[in-house]
Structure 1
């Protein structure tokens, strides 16, 4: 950044400041000569006597930085000084003065004469005289201009250096004001990665402050999920331990000829019931890992016929509670994503519906919109937003993974899922608010 600033200032000085200084010095040279010519012109435009001529000659000789002379009819009649080394310059100016005599009254000519490897600034002014027009010529070498330019450039360079260091200091302060909170954030992330319980205090109103706040929020959410996960694992371990202990104790009793439930068949039924419970719990845990693979699989361009999926799920789940009426209103539409992931998602919603439904379950499928409702008890309003969070404790203290799996699948395929209460029950909806792009080619899954 410092190098860039140096390059910028150098280019700025080379292309702008230097050219501006040269124009300023040129204007100043012409202004100085015009200022010195004013009293001369005032004398020449009046009646000249011997005293006036003496005064004029004294005035012309007083300024050593400029040389002035009067031209009358192509000849120099009065000069402040006439250095030998400047004869070539005076002859050139004398020639230019001849051409000015024929110009309009009060004509002025300014310019730069280059003679002998040097530059001379000149100014000519046509004035009325007693016997005809006079040309007042004033010139000065570039020595004074060079000295003035050097002084002006030095002053400008000093100002630029001061401005540069002020900008540098402001930049360094700004950079350090960014580096310090970034180092705090890096240290915070490093300590979080090591499992330490640390806090982050960055009170800023810019993007860095927003980033710090988001990191703190993320850390709090991860901590909450970790605690919920630990509690879930503890509960799952307890749930697994109970049927395993029952199976083990009943099996040992039967082996010893003792039937804890009265007879052999009843005791074996208890073992089979607990084995079934154990199988269901293990199946849910295994499928939680399975769904991670499904949602991370490359499903780009793949679509699923939701009518086929709903019909298959309804056919397989109708025996769960035969007394529950399943009402379907399904159009043949296609959702983005793998068929297995969508089947599991609908199965999980249907399992939840069968658990709470009283008389019916309704399934409606439209373009980018699927709804499954039932007439079960309404959900607490303060629990609706947490329904789809992983490891969230549900009703009765159970940790349900089914709806969190639904949330993973829908998000992976760019859909939204929500639950809400109806006047006579509850509804779960999977939808996409934006329209699908027209003409997009997709591969269709075959019904399995």
Structure 2
């Protein structure tokens, strides 16, 4: 056991855990005031449930010995983390429980990310059922495919990990997986009442920017922590993460300025997340300059992609598809173009003389994860919708999901009244117009 590596990985695990409350703030600020608590509760609910399932059988499904074709780990091998408590059980230079802790927070945020696609209209109980079923049937197996390398925890691992596909910190398992699931679930639940007609602007942009900042801070644990050691690979991943994210913000803001005439705070926050998503699979395979290139392209692509929901007619409320699916696909496939053997991954992509072999590997892994997640999520969502019902009633949606589902309100409007009884900053007041952000999340067509 190496104490320095252990300290870094446990610190990284705490950083990644902070990302889920950061996501709650990011998503919470983007919805309307009457939905903020429900939006944040979906992240906290996922954190609670997936943390329990991970201890019981999730880790074993993801990292247990393969039980067939690289598709699934043995769910009973480490059930309840049995056999992993001893100090002599190591994963590389780490105590096994440090590795368990680090991987648990990836599972949590992968589920929480999906919630942004169904903001304002999902029953909280149905969401919790979905979260548990999706983690069990989709995330835990895909985590086995991607993260379970042979002889890391168990003797045999997943098919993606064993075929030379590079996904350093979860472009496929986290972002493509969650993005495809978000699209499927948005189609199952249907559009929000008034989508494309009524303004659905973010109600609290400072909350969005605070959430984005916490996500960015935690993401250094996400990417650099995936080295599972305090070493040069972690340092390269850290610098590449910084470079790509900064470049993506500039790419998104430039796109907004050219297209809409304004560079917005919402665009800056969204651009940061787009860059973080894109560099996640690639941060060990690129140099800092190509990380900037990948980041700029991610910012532009995702800024353009968020408008697809209006053209194609699906209501992905907070742009899980436009940012996480598109950004994850680009980041994963970009490795096939920009990877350099000088980076820790040690592979040359097409533009560095490596031919098209790596590009093909990246492409088929991304597509298979996307299709698998979409199809299985659509089935899970449809079954829940037809049995217990996934969507709240239309009248309750109009009233506000916070009041109806949680019997709470995010804001005490009674203490924020001005002359004549008008509520300052409420959704019906003139101040709402100042929250308009064109070309990004929550803008009507």
TM-score range, shorter chain: under 0.3
Structure of higher RCO (CA pairs closer than 8 Å, 6+ residues apart) = 2
Between structures 1 and 2, the one with greater helix share: 2
Question: What TM-score, normalized to structure 1?
Answer: 0.25
Question: What TM-score, normalized to structure 2?
Answer: 0.25
Higher Cα radius of gyration: 1
Between structures 1 and 2, the one with greater strand share: 1
